[in-house]
Structure 1
Amino acid sequence: MPHLALYTFGVLKSPLADPTPLMREFYDIGEAVYQRFGQHPGYLARAEAEDVDQGALFEADWGAWGEFAVPTWYGKGRTVETTALATTLSLWTDLRPAFDAVYTGLHREALNRRYDWFERSGHPNYVFWWVSDGVIPTWQDGVSRLEHLHDHGSGPCAFTFPHSFAPDGTPAEIEVIGPKSGQVR
């Protein structure tokens, strides 16, 4: 059974090493979100480096997730002191559990504050694609899919929630229940 890969990428207003309360708050919320995602039905795994300092993303050993990579439009630093990005790479069982995890609870609260922490780039900040069972997507896979999404829009090989695709490449839809029913954002 195929699994859903999710790559997220955002350029932060301040470097990860910035000691201000705003960046500490970002880290605290991020760690709590990761803990909750790890317990969410449908969550399978995420790229994690062993014993890495904040901002040492480029030097870290990511194991089966491959060498760390970023989109071509990232123009900020790459050292521990200057890296100003937040990114994730994860695996899910299907679209619905991923949607529920992203748009409810603590992550929803964090999304509501994203412009406190992130620059508005004009580029997509996430992309989905399907992988075969047993395949671990790499950082470069995520970057390639995100850049493809930016250049070509949603399609079976790179898509978003509003323009989703099933593993067989046919369009898929997520039913949203609640006050914004019918909208996926």
Structure 2
Amino acid sequence: MPHLALYTFGVLKSPLADPAPLTHEFYDIGETVYREISQRPGYLAHAEAAAGDRGSHFDLDWGAWGEFAVPTWYGKGRTGETTALAATLSLWTDLRPAFDAIYTGLHRAALNRRYDWFERAKHPTYAFWWVSDGAIPTWQNAVSRLEHLHDHGSTPHAFTFHHAFGPDATPIRIKGIGPKSDQVR
């Protein structure tokens, strides 16, 4: 059975190495949110640097998730002192569990504060796509999907909650979000 890949990308107002309290707060909340999300039904895995390394995303060993990459519109730093981004890459069983994890609990509370930490985006901040069972999406593929979503809108290749597609490329919607379609999950 296919799995759902999710890539999120945001540009932070200040570098991750910034000693300001707001940056530390973002780190602390992020770690707590990840712990909560990893316990959610439907969650399968997320990209983690080998041995829990911290530092510049660009220099870390991401194992099967591949070399770290960013969208073409990211124009801030790429060193440990200058990197100003937050990116996640995860696998889910389906759209409904991903939606429930993102829009409830600690993650929902963090979303409500996103503009404290992130610049307002002129580009999509997340993209979904289906991968075959056992496949691990790579950072490069994730960036390609997000850029495709930006250039072409939601398609079976890359889509959002509001305009979602099933593994068979048919439009679907999650009850309570997005335009009406034939299937409701």
TM-score under structure 1 length normalisation: 0.94
Structure 2: unaligned runs, 5 residues or longer: 180-185
Structure 1: unaligned runs, 5 residues or longer: 177-181
Query: 2:118 aligned with 1:115, yes or no?
Result: no
Equivalence for 1:179: none
Shift of 1:183: 5.7
Deviations 1:87-131 (A, max 9, x none): 000000000000000000100000000000000121000000000
Query: Counterparts in 2 of 1:1-185, with a 5 A limit?
Result: 1-50=1-50, 51-54=52-55, 56-176=56-176, 182=177
Once superposed, which parts of structure 1, at least 4 consecutive aligned residues long, lie more than 4 Å away?
none
TM-score under structure 2 length normalisation: 0.94
Shift of 1:4: 0.1
What SS class does the counterpart of residue 58 from structure 1 fall into? helix
What is the one-letter code of the residue matched to 1:77? G
Mapped to 1, the partners of 2:35 and 2:164 lie a distance apart of 26
Shift of 1:171: 0.2
Identity of aligned residues (%): 76
What SS class does the counterpart of residue 22 from structure 2 fall into? helix
What is the one-letter code of the residue matched to 1:39? Q
What SS class does the counterpart of residue 39 from structure 1 fall into? coil
**Corresponding residue pairs, total:** 178
What is the one-letter code of the residue matched to 2:127? V
What is the one-letter code of the residue matched to 1:116? D
Mapped to 2, the partners of 1:109 and 1:82 lie a distance apart of 27
Q: Would the aligned equivalents of 2:17 and 2:80 in 1 still touch at CA under 8 Å?
A: yes
Shift of 1:53: 2.0
Mapped to 1, the partners of 2:178 and 2:111 lie a distance apart of 16
Q: Would the aligned equivalents of 2:126 and 2:160 in 1 still touch at CA under 8 Å?
A: yes
What is the one-letter code of the residue matched to 2:17? A
What SS class does the counterpart of residue 23 from structure 1 fall into? helix
What is the one-letter code of the residue matched to 1:121? A
